[in-house]
Amino acid sequence: MVVFDYFESVLEGVEYLIALGSIMGLLGLIIGMLLLIWGGQRYRDKMIGVIIASIVLLAVCGLNTGIKYFNIFR
C-alpha cells in the first residue's frame, strides 16, 4: 500500500534518470563528433573526453531507452 506506492515512485524516478542519461549520451556523442571534426584544436582535446563519456552513458543506459521513453520517433 503506502510502501509499495513509495517504491513505485522511486522506480519511476530511476527509469526517468536512465532515459535522460540515454538522451544525454546520444546528444553528447553527436555534438562531440561535430566539434571534433569542425572545432579548433582547443575543442578537439575536450571533445574526445565528451565522446568517451557519452559512450559510457550509452553503454550504461542503453541507446533506445530514452527514445522509447520520451516517444521521440512514433
Residues 14-47: tens digit of each pLDDT? 999 999 999 999 999 999 999 999 988 888 888 9
Residue 29 covered by a domain:
yes
- Domain span at 59: 22-74
Residue 6 lies in a domain: no
Q: Is residue 12 part of a domain?
A: no
- The secondary element (H helix, E strand) that includes residue 34 is helix 2-38
How far apart CA 14 and CA 71 sit, in angstroms, is 18
Residue 69: pLDDT above 90?
no
The domain total for the chain is: 1
Given this model, what pLDDT does residue 43 score? Answer: 84
Structural domain contains residue 64: yes
Q: Percent of the chain scored above 90 by pLDDT? A: 64
